[in-house]
């Protein structure tokens, strides 16, 4: 197996000319034999998962139990009816999926489901991940111990043993290339004689080592069933026949000039009981070791051979930085910290001004970074810019002058003031060779130094190591999140069941108890009574439940069920009933009945009571804030007096109820739409409250709190909407301090606005007297009256005029309404005490502020305002003239009422003191 220019593993038979074996030698291929390639699964064919299952399934053998079958609807990768291999065989499936380009979410979801059904598979898979990380740490530890060392013997021995142990190779050799003699000599080996220098005897001609043609081109090899491979030539070194090679994995050590200076050859995996073939993970580890070893050992070998190519002076220092960072990365599981470490190291290694690491988000087709030094988080489209080009093409870009490259977006520089000179952008690959991210380095230091080929090679070596660690960290992190979420869900379900208020019992076709879930409150009679007698015997006190069970038995409609809410249930042995919800339905096979009882405890009852006034979301907020226990604050109260529905005996009851529903149905919908609660509703009236403070928990009250003006606007908007649906409804809105809360099973609201709305309703009859057919410009509907507090809060949002100022008592009676103020006698003093009164300034809501008024209406309003001003200065004759003008224009009823008052004063029927304050106090 060899690797092409894109890093894909290919079969030697399919290789192009550059992969051909050494010319002039014939392959030693026995007849009837075929190569077996061990490659990573890169297929995205839909049958891939089923193929993996077949590959990992345990065959049936005599004397063994048949394999377990999975249900057809378990949602797993395994097809319905497919056998599940036991023990470690299952691990192969997940390992192969992890090493492909499969969706990690699908793998994590599969593992989460497997965790419940087969914990052993999950444990084995997590053990596999742990061993992989331990292997990386062992490699890094070994390399760290020799980083920067000039002792070539120490470097060779340490890294040689590290590579052999990391992949568990049976045999290993390090060949050093002697280009002058077209040969190699064995510098380290556990099966060949070792030479300390070229020409010391025992050198091997280069064509006689396995895969020499590909190795000398810098290509890595991994060939299984070696003796049947085209690479196994007749003229190979005879020592190969002594060790019976089955699989050979070889990686070249390449100097940054492109010269192959050595090759590391590993033969046969030695794990007991396993195949002798190396896998994709082994190839990745060896490739990473080879890349690092090339940077560290190649300069030493070249120096030992008597040559000193330029550019190698900083190799030891650079490698020390890589190894130090690798040691940190091997123990870092936090993704953010790992990215930060990678970026800091790249910046130090390449001496750059700015570094960014972009990760590919395949789901959103974007590149994102949590670290972009000197900037905040960045997200860009996957196909845009230089980073997008590198991510989609997989090619490295080195741009010496960014402003001359058409792919560079100079707008960012213009916005930030930063100047980009040169860019080095390289893809970062995962263990499978796929591009998982992009490293973008900007402005080589010192200015104006460009990025060199040495920089590219150094970054490539580091990216190989960092990409593997980053890939494993991301996989492990996502798996941990999925498994944690699954564990939490299981714990929640367990807790919910243990604290459940539900009891379920199942009856057979004869009506006898088959099974049930015990409940401490919903108690059924002790056996054997329920198992030997029909349900109507031992459920005797629960007549309605018995009737519903009988109805389900009798129903011929498949799937028929009966649901009841807030019903009484008499548990066995208890005199008093409890409140329950229940559902009676046939069992799936139609031979019996299933009864589900849900206990309605105090919390549920409270929730349902509050839910009558609030939506589901707000109800939970009310409960969280304990608002049902009482909330004090500003609110606007809307009271609506509805037209009476005729109860004539000649009208059918159904028609009467339909008219009643039509009269009151708009009230709740309009109230909820305007963020209010309907606390009282009868056929003749309703009361809605619009709070100026939200019923939220304390930590939520700081944001989104509506103002008193918002509450008042909501109340008036609701009144106008009700007017559209119910033109004959008289409405009043008052605003002020209130206390709201749950009282028994009703929501109550008390405070001054409640009292003032009653007074305004009494005054409504004054401005719309019986028999009136018009209120002026707005038809014959009763008025929408508001107090001065409400009018001040909504000024500018609605067309409102001031009508009057009237003294009223707390029972709602007022001088203008003809209601007599109540008096009480003080028994201790014998004196009569006048009940406390208050002055109400009455305003009328005409329309929404966005609705333009006719010119005639505006003229009439001006006349009314002028008349009211003359009226309050006791210029009653002048006031009559203005009021009369308003009546003539719009037939305004309030203007006619004010004319009658002025006439009564002028005729002497009402005597007003000289120091009159303009408040009407007379009937």
Q: How far apart are the first and last CA of the chain?
A: 110
Residue 435 makes CB contacts below 8 A (sequence gap 6+) with 360, 391, 394, 427, 428, 429
CB-hemisphere CA count at 13 Å for 58?
A: 17
| The most confident of 12-16, 93-97, 403-407, 746-750, by mean pLDDT | 403-407
Closest among 772, 848, 837, 835 to 805, alpha carbons compared: 837
With bands split at pLDDT 50, 70 and 90, how would you rate the model's confidence at 776?
very low
Q: Which two tokens stand for residue 260?
A: 């192959």
For 439-487, the DSSP string reads EEEEEESSTTPPP-HHHHHHHHHHHHHHHHHHHHHHHHHHHHHHHHHHH
Residue owning tokens 């949002």: 797
Computed from CA positions of residues 131, 136, 139, 140, in that sequence, does the dihedral angle turn out positive or negative?
Answer: negative
Residue owning tokens 């008042």: 712
Task: Kindly report which listed range (74-88, 195-209, 529-543, 667-681) carries the lowest average pLDDT score.
Answer: 74-88
| pLDDT reported for residue 765 | 79
| pLDDT reported for residue 629 | 66
| pLDDT reported for residue 406 | 87
| pLDDT reported for residue 906 | 92
Query: In the predicted model, what is the mean pLDDT of the chain?
Result: 74
Does the pLDDT at position 13 exceed 50? no
Contact (CB, 8 A) for 95 and 125: yes
Does the pLDDT at position 375 exceed 60? no
Contact (CB, 8 A) for 196 and 248: no
| pLDDT reported for residue 698 | 41
| Interval 809-854: pLDDT, tens | 755 554 443 332 323 333 344 444 445 677 889 999 999 999 898 8
Does the pLDDT at position 271 exceed 90? no
Contact (CB, 8 A) for 807 and 750: no
Does the pLDDT at position 899 exceed 90? yes
| Interval 353-372: pLDDT, tens | 888 888 888 888 998 886 44
Q: Which helix (H) or strand (E) holds 578?
A: strand 578-586
Task: Kindly report which listed range (25-29, 143-147, 351-355) carries the lowest average pLDDT score.
Answer: 25-29
Does the pLDDT at position 519 exceed 60? yes
Does the pLDDT at position 278 exceed 60? yes
Task: Kindly report which listed range (61-75, 177-191, 535-549) carries the lowest average pLDDT score.
Answer: 61-75
H helical segments located in 501-615? 529-532, 535-538, 543-554, 602-611
Distance CA 599, CA 571 (A): 11
* 3-class DSSP state of 336: helix
Rounded mean pLDDT of 395-412? 88
Percent of the chain with pLDDT over 90: 18
| Interval 689-739: pLDDT, tens | 888 765 543 434 434 456 889 999 999 999 999 888 888 888 999 999 888
Higher-confidence residue of 595 and 572: namely 595
Contact (CB, 8 A) for 187 and 156: yes
| pLDDT reported for residue 116 | 66
Rounded mean pLDDT of 786-813? 85
Does the pLDDT at position 513 exceed 90? yes
Contact (CB, 8 A) for 602 and 682: no
Distance CA 18, CA 276 (A): 28
| pLDDT reported for residue 62 | 38
| Interval 640-679: pLDDT, tens | 887 766 555 566 777 767 777 776 777 878 888 888 888 8
Backbone torsions φ then ψ of 38, nearest 5 degrees: -105, 100
Q: Residues 418, 419, 425, 430: what is their CA dihedral angle, to the nearest 10 degrees?
A: -10
With bands split at pLDDT 50, 70 and 90, how would you rate the model's confidence at 613?
low
Does the pLDDT at position 98 exceed 90? no
Higher-confidence residue of 606 and 277: namely 277
Distance CA 95, CA 132 (A): 11
| pLDDT reported for residue 305 | 56
| pLDDT reported for residue 799 | 93
| pLDDT reported for residue 639 | 92
Rounded mean pLDDT of 207-223? 86
| The most confident of 245-259, 435-449, 785-799, by mean pLDDT | 785-799
Provide the greatest CA pair distance for the chain.
144
> Helices 119-146 & 315-330, crossing angle to 10 degrees?
150
Distance CA 532, CA 529 (A): 5
Q: Which two tokens stand for residue 367?
A: 């590149």
Does the pLDDT at position 410 exceed 80? yes
Q: Which helix (H) or strand (E) holds 144?
A: helix 119-146
Q: Which helix (H) or strand (E) holds 803?
A: strand 798-809
| pLDDT reported for residue 342 | 73
| pLDDT reported for residue 87 | 41
Rounded mean pLDDT of 548-558? 82
Residue 817 makes CB contacts below 8 A (sequence gap 6+) with 762, 763, 765, 766, 806, 808, 923
Distance CA 451, CA 444 (A): 6
Rounded mean pLDDT of 436-462? 84
| pLDDT reported for residue 64 | 38
Q: Which helix (H) or strand (E) holds 677?
A: strand 677-681
| pLDDT reported for residue 785 | 94
| pLDDT reported for residue 392 | 92
Distance CA 374, CA 367 (A): 18
CA 669, distance to chain mean position in Å, is 32
Does the pLDDT at position 80 exceed 60? no
């Amino acid at each position: 197996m060899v690797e092409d220019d894109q890093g894909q593993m290919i079969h030697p038979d399919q290789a192009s000319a550059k992969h051909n074996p050494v010319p002039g030698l014939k392959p030693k291929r026995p007849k009837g034999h075929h190569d077996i390639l061990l490659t990573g699964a890169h297929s995205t064919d839909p049958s891939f998962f089923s193929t993996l299952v077949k590959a990992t399934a345990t065959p049936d053998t005599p004397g063994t139990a048949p394999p377990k079958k999975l249900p057809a609807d378990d949602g797993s990768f395994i097809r319905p009816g497919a056998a599940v291999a036991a023990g470690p065989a299952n691990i192969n499936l997940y390992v192969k999926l992890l090493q492909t380009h499969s969706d990690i979410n699908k793998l994590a979801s599969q593992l989460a489901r497997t965790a419940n059904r087969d914990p052993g598979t999950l444990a084995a898979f997590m053990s596999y991940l742990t061993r992989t990380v331990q292997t990386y740490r062992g490699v890094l530890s070994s390399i760290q111990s020799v980083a920067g060392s000039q002792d070539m013997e120490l470097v060779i021995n340490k890294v040689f043993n590290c590579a052999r142990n990391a992949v568990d190779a049976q045999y290993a050799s390090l060949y050093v290339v002697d280009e002058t003699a077209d040969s190699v000599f064995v510098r380290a080996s556990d099966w060949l004689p070792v030479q300390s220098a070229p020409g010391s005897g025992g050198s091997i001609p280069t064509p006689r080592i396995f895969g020499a043609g590909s190795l000398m081109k810098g290509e890595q090899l991994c060939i299984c069933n070696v003796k049947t491979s085209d690479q196994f030539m007749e003229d190979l070194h005879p020592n190969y026949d002594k060790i019976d090679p089955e699989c050979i994995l070889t990686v070249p050590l390449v100097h940054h000039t492109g010269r192959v200076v050595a090759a590391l050859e590993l033969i046969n995996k030695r794990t007991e009981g396993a195949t002798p073939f190396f896998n994709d993970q082994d190839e990745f580890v060896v490739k990473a070791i080879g890349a690092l070893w090339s940077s560290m050992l190649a300069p030493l070998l070249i120096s030992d051979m008597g040559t000193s190519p330029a550019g190698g002076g900083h190799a030891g220092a650079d490698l020390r930085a890589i190894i130090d960072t690798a040691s940190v990365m091997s123990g870092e599981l936090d993704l953010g910290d790992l990215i930060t470490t990678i970026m800091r190291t790249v910046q130090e290694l390449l001496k750059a001004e700015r570094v960014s690491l972009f990760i590919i988000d395949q789901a959103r087709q974007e590149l994102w970074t949590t670290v972009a030094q000197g900037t905040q988080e960045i997200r860009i489209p996957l196909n845009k810019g230089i980073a997008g080009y590198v991510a989609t093409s997989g090619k490295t870009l080195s741009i010496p002058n960014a402003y001359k490259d058409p792919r560079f977006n100079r707008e960012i520089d213009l916005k930030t003031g930063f100047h980009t000179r040169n860019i080095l952008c390289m893809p970062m690959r995962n263990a499978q060779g796929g591009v998982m991210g992009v490293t973008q380095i900007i402005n080589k230091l010192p200015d104006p130094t460009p990025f060199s080929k040495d920089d590219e090679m150094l970054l490539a070596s580091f990216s190989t190591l960092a990409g593997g660690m980053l890939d494993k960290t991301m996989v492990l992190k996502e798996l941990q999140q999925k498994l944690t979420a699954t564990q939490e869900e299981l714990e929640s379900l367990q807790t919910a069941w243990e604290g459940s208020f539900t009891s379920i019992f199942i009856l057979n076709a004869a009506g006898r108890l088959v099974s049930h879930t015990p409940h401490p409150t919903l108690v059924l009679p002790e056996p054997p009574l329920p198992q030997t007698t029909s349900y109507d015997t031992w459920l005797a006190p629960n007549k309605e439940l018995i009737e519903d069970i009988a109805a389900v038995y009798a129903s011929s409609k498949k799937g028929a069920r009966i649901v009841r809410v807030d019903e009484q249930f008499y548990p066995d042995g208890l005199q008093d009933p409890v409140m329950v919800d229940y559902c009676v339905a046939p069992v799936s096979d139609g031979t019996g009945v299933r009864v589900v009882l849900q206990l309605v405890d105090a919390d549920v009852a409270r929730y349902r009571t509050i839910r009558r006034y609030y939506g589901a979301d707000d109800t939970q907020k009310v409960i969280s804030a304990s608002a049902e226990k009482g909330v004090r604050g500003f609110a606007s109260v809307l009271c609506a007096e509805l037209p009476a529905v005729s109860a004539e005996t000649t009208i059918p009851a159904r028609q009467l109820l339909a008219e009643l529903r039509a009269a009151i149905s708009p009230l709740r919908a309009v109230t909820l739409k305007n963020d209010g609660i309907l606390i009282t509703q009868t056929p003749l009236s309703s009361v809605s409250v619009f709070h100026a403070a939200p019923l939220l928990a304390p930590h939520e009250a700081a944001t989104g709190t509506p103002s008193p003006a918002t509450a008042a606007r909501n109340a008036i908007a609701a009144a106008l909407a009700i007017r559209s649906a119910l033109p004959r409804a008289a409405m009043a809105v008052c605003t002020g301090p209130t206390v709201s809360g749950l009282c028994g099973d009703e929501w109550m609201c008390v405070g001054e606005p409640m009292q003032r709305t009653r007074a305004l309703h009494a005054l409504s009859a004054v401005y719309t007297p019986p028999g009136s057919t018009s209120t002026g410009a707005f038809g014959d509907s009763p008025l929408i009256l508001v107090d001065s507090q409400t009018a001040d809060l909504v000024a500018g949002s609605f067309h409102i005029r001031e009508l009057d100022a009237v003294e009223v008592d707390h029972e709602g009676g007022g001088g203008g309404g003809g209601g007599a103020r109540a008096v009480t006698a003080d028994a201790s003093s014998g004196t009569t005490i006048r009940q406390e009164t208050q002055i109400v300034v009455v305003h009328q809501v005409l329309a929404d502020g966005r609705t333009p008024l006719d010119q005639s209406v505006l003229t009439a309003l001006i006349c009314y305002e002028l008349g009211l001003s003359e009226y309050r200065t006791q210029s009653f004759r002048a006031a009559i003239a203005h009021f009369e003008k308003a009546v003539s224009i719009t037939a305004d009823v309030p203007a006619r009422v004010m004319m009658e008052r002025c006439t009564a004063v002028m005729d002497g029927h009402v005597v007003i003191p000289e120091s009159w304050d303009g408040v009407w106090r007379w009937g």
